[in-house]
A and B are shown apart, each in its own frame.
Chain A
Amino acid sequence: KQEVTQIPAALSVPEGENLVLNCSFTDSAIYNLQWFRQDPGKGLTSLLLIQSSQREQTSGRLNASLDKSSGRSTLYIAASQPGDSATYLCAVVNTDKLIFGTGTRLQVFP
């Protein structure tokens, strides 16, 4: 059974710091991995999608890497801003569905 874990569970940093959020999964037979952002009381916004054959994806200040063999992904956020404050969710596709991690709650203060 696929299990997805994210560390840290919560993170509070001053504006401007570079951040690394970690995601690990127990079954490396995934089709792809997707990072999402969720603001309080809101839906999910897709940030990056990495297919199983890819190593990384970049969008603006975000960079996500994937190491299937070790069951790990990292989300790198450069020059963090208060507007980045949200919960970040990692999810892997196993067979026919997304399996979500527990999330990292990020707070960036001015």
Chain B
Amino acid sequence: NAGVMQNPRHLVRRRGQEARLRCSPMKGHSHVYWYRQLPEEGLKFMVYLQKENIIDESGMPKERFSAEFPKEGPSILRIQQVVRGDSAAYFCASSAQADYGYTFGSGTRLTVV
């Protein structure tokens, strides 16, 4: 069991470019969550998805950010027109049931230059 796989581990983007972060949940897990950790801050919830559905996106910035979890393939967190303030570690978690037993990936560290 490979656990929650995130790639890339590190991503550097210039201001104005797009960033795509991928997350493959643990085998058998159909619930995916994205969190953001700004430097020297705690983890903040962004979005909760199940296959083909966004369940809760209350933590997502209103503009430039989107997430999907298609029927086939990994979950994608997409940030358009990145700005320096988007530099952070982005973590994905998955669970077999809602509200129970989250497993986290190693994160993607995004640096915007």
Contacts and interface: CB of A to CB of B under 8 A. Distances in A.
Given A96-B55, A97-B45, A98-B93, A42 B100 contact: no
A101 B99 contact: no
Given A96-B48, A96-B56, A96-B98, A101 B104 contact: no
Nearest to B47: A97
Interface string B35-60: 10000001111001000000110010
Contacts of A32: 99-100
Interface in A40-71: 41-46, 49, 51
Interface size class on chain B is 20 to 34
A93 B100 contact: yes
Nearest to B4: A43
Contacts of B101: 34, 46, 49
Contact of A36 (B33, B45, B104): B104
B91 A43 contact: yes
Chain A CB within 10 Å, residue with most, of B42, B59, B91, B105 = B42
Interface of A: 31-32, 34, 36, 41-46, 49, 51, 89, 91, 93, 95-103
